[in-house]
Structure 1
Amino acid sequence: MDGAENMANSRTPPRGMMGALRTFKHFAVTGLWNSIAARKLLAKYSLDTIETDLGGHHHPVAIVAIFKGEDEYLREWLEFHLIVGVSHFYLYDNGNSEASRVILEPYIKQGLVTYLAFPEFPEPTLRNRYGKDQFRKLSMQNLAYGDCTSKHARQCDWLVKIDLDEFIYPLAPYNTLDAAFSRFDKKRIKGFTVLAARFGPSGNISRSGLPVIETFGMRNPGYDNDWKSVGNGAFINRGAGYHGAHSFYYRFAPWARILADENTRDIVRINHYYIKSRDEYLDKIQFHAVGHKAGKEVPDKWPLANDEASHPDDGSILRFLPTLKARLR
């Protein structure tokens, strides 16, 4: 595991040589410990998998995501990303829901989705990186990313990690993600950061019945340090059983680099619809939080988010809306 690569991904790098060494130690030791623990845990439990990505299929752009009971949004999320050029989805079902499987069945049969039942593992804790009598829980989200990259990274030109409340799309003049990503030299770019605009409720109390991307048009000004990574499958470290929620571990390759968001902000964007309407948000924090986020959200976050998200979005995502609505009929 290459700790230095994760230093490159840090949004707030340390000051001075000692700070850099401490950060290197943190990522190298913690990452190695988590990776070993994750691989043991994944090997212990057989995953209920509907595998559709056998036989060496190659994907220009694929998405890995973990979700829990977000059945109302699955079709819109899938259809939107198919429109913008995603060719495969690796979906980890933290809720292990039969209803979700039914929705996903047509996509599985078409070879578009690899489905994995991924409920919480019984092991609640693992020793921390220093081996002291302190414990920390491995994130199910990060375990899912590690499982996916170890099995499928080499089948993807670009692997995107986002949640089901996030929509990634190319900015004009590009119409598909693979066309936008063609701007990046696959032999020299390990991965890149994509900024996410965080949207608020836009005054909605209950679900509108319209597509998410149509319902919510008010966002926070700026980007609030909200971002995700797109990894080059050829450089992602497949030996790491544990990848961060925002960034990948990459193999050592001194001739290649990781692009920061200033290199991508005019090419690709993520819209993050985390809060949605009041009723949807209350439902989310009660039933749909994944792993360590479960039970940590607070109901009074909704009015604060509604006040903060007072900036009209530029509507760049809406050029895909007519096609999306036609596919959802």
Structure 2
Amino acid sequence: MAGSATILTELTKRKSPHGRVMAVSMMKDEAAYLLEWVAHHLAVGFTDILVYTNDCSDGTVEMLQRLEELGLCYHRENVIPEGHKPQPSALNHAQAEPLVQSADWVLVFDADEFLAISHPSGTLDGMITDAVNRGANGVVITWRIFGSGGVVDWSRAPVTEQYLRAAPHHDSLAFHEARLATLKSNPSFKQIIASLRAAHETPYSALSSVLFTQPLPPVARDMVAQLRAGGHSDREIAQMIAQSPLIAAKEAEIDAADAAFYRGLGLTPIRTSPE
């Protein structure tokens, strides 16, 4: 019993000087990676973790229920209305969730995304403190794209120990420059941002037309159709696309063009953390 008590004490959720710092995610059949994902984000500094699930068959739900019993995270069912997709549905539920509404800081991300703290403090609290001291009430976090890293077989090893090769930092910046340029080109973008700032209550569903404006290039859509017709799962298709030199070349071409346009407007990315 003493050993169990010690383990539970070590797993107790932490507190932050910034109040409730919450991670929100949506998952389906992520049991193999769930514990690492939860442990990683408790370790970097989140005080609360909320996970929505739908149609799981691999024990993800039962694991999350047990984690909730231990006080380590919260689990909610993602009830998806007819005609809706899982992610926007979960975001709508999260917006109405009291835990989210009472949070001081919220980050929404997927089960295959791990927050890496590049701030000199090495902590989420340190990064937020720095942001607050600069007068900010939000932090922009860019992706860093990881490939297969030569991994071809499934392994029990942690994801963060298997996949160690990634795009250079400047490539990640270029990707987000391209996304921002695309968002700015949407006629509704300024109006929705203005309403967000004014009311802080614009529904996530109203943002979907702005936030999801980057369709796959035609060559990728054709590839997906062929792979689906061949019986490949979406996970397999995603892995194939990620490893396709053709897609990589097309994305690089688009990123370069959008980045050039973005810089032509006189806007330059600001690096707030060391390389």
**Alignment TM-score, normalising by the size of structure 2:** 0.58
Structure (1 or 2) with the greater helix fraction? 2
SS at match of 2:107: strand
Confirm or deny that 1:77 pairs with 2:77: no
Higher RCO (CA-CA < 8 Å; seq separation 6+): 1
SS at match of 2:104: strand
CA distance in 2, matches of 1:84, 1:247: 30
CA distance in 2, matches of 1:245, 1:206: 35
Structure (1 or 2) with the greater strand fraction? 1
SS at match of 1:141: helix
Identity among equivalent positions (%) equals 22
Confirm or deny that 1:194 pairs with 2:137: no
Confirm or deny that 1:182 pairs with 2:132: no
2:120 is aligned to: 173
1:301 is aligned to: 241
Gaps of 5+ in 2: 1-17, 180-196, 212-227, 250-275
After TM superposition, give the deviation of residue 214 of structure 1 in Å: 0.9
2:94 is aligned to: 148
SS at match of 1:92: strand
- Write the deviation string for residues 28-49 of structure 1: whole angstroms up to 9, x where unpaired: xxxxxxxxxxxxxxxxxxxxxx
SS at match of 2:52: strand
Gaps of 5+ in 1: 1-57, 125-137, 229-233, 249-281, 290-296, 310-329
- Write the deviation string for residues 174-224 of structure 1: whole angstroms up to 9, x where unpaired: 232122111122895342310110100011111232111111111123215
In structure 2, relative to structure 1, the CA distance for the partners of 1:143 and 1:184 (3 Å cut) is: same
SS at match of 2:131: coil
SS at match of 2:122: coil
- Write the deviation string for residues 1-46 of structure 1: whole angstroms up to 9, x where unpaired: xxxxxxxxxxxxxxxxxxxxxxxxxxxxxxxxxxxxxxxxxxxxxx
What's the Cα RMSD here? Answer: 3.8
Confirm or deny that 1:240 pairs with 2:186: no
In structure 2, relative to structure 1, the CA distance for the partners of 1:74 and 1:149 (3 Å cut) is: same
8 Å contact from structure 1 (residues 67, 163) kept in 2: yes
Confirm or deny that 1:100 pairs with 2:46: no
SS at match of 2:114: strand
Task: Count matched residues.
Answer: 191
Query: Structure 1: which 4+ aligned runs deviate by more than 4 Å?
Result: 243-248, 305-309
- What are the residue-to-residue correspondences of 1:250-269 with 2, within 5 Å? none
8 Å contact from structure 2 (residues 147, 165) kept in 1: yes
8 Å contact from structure 1 (residues 71, 99) kept in 2: yes
Instruction: Give the partner amino acid of 1:301.
Output: I
In structure 2, relative to structure 1, the CA distance for the partners of 1:245 and 1:72 (3 Å cut) is: farther
SS at match of 1:156: coil
- What are the residue-to-residue correspondences of 1:221-236 with 2, within 5 Å? 221=168, 222-223=171-172, 224-225=174-175
